[in-house]
Amino acid sequence: MTPDLILHIFSLFIFCLVLAALEVQIEGEAGWASNLPTWRPRQNAWHSRFYRKIMSGRDLTGYHLFIFSLVLFFLHYPYFVNQSWSFSSELTTLSFAFLVIVVWDFLWFVINPKYDFRHFWAQHVWWHKKWFLHLPVDYWFGFLLSAIFYMKLSLDWALLKEWLAIFVLILFLTLIVIIIANAAGVFRLKKNDNKK
């Protein structure tokens, strides 16, 4: 990995951390905007059904529509100022988008003082309906799509190796945040032992 790529990944991680912190301030302990006064389309509308299908059964909300749009716009911003666009660069951007969404979502559980991270299990996280190897299935699909897009829809092993290095760096940064959150007492700040 080049120093520029390391810096890019570090800044994306900070972006995930800021998004998670912002979302903690907005949602509190009620995940998936369950207590927010946000727009919710009719359950039987075609776009609601489509969204639930691709989002593992989670409902579409105005909050998520706009926050995901903000993330995609942020990641595409360089193309609007000076970076030239190409199909290859778009695949890299989409790869990073999937990584950002997974990391940001996971960090919500880590830094949320209203949520007990020790309860990051299927029975306590109702909005992640399908789990595999102690992680939501959506995380696994996000990682897989990120790797496929990063490899430019090919079997380029050099790009896979680079993606794996990016993944390890993100895991390392996440571990640092978990250690700091634990040391700061975030895991002990709950008002009571609410299990979601």
- Check residues 125 and 160 and name the one with the higher pLDDT: 160
In this structure, are residues 64 and 41 in contact, taking their beta carbons and an 8 Å threshold?
no
CA distances from 190 to 105, 122, 179 (A): 19, 20, 17
pLDDT for res 192: 47
Phi and psi angles of residue 181, each rounded to the nearest 5 degrees, phi first: -60, -40
H or E element: which one contains 135? Answer: strand 135-136
The secondary structure of the chain in percent helix, strand, coil, rounded to multiples of 5, reads 65, 0, 30
| pLDDT tens per residue across span 90-101 | 999 999 999 999
| Residue 27, token pair as written in the block | 């949602």
Beta-bridge partner residues of 132: 135
Q: How much is the pLDDT for 196?
A: 41
Least confident of 52-56, 64-68, 122-126: 52-56
132 phi and psi angles, rounded to 5 deg: -150, 130
The model's pLDDT over 77-87, given as tens digits with 9 standing for 90+, comes to 999 998 999 99
pLDDT at position 124: 85
Q: Amino acid letter at 116?
A: D
Tell me what pLDDT residue 188 has.
64
**Residue for token pair 């691709």:** 54
Looking up tokens 């040391």 gives 183
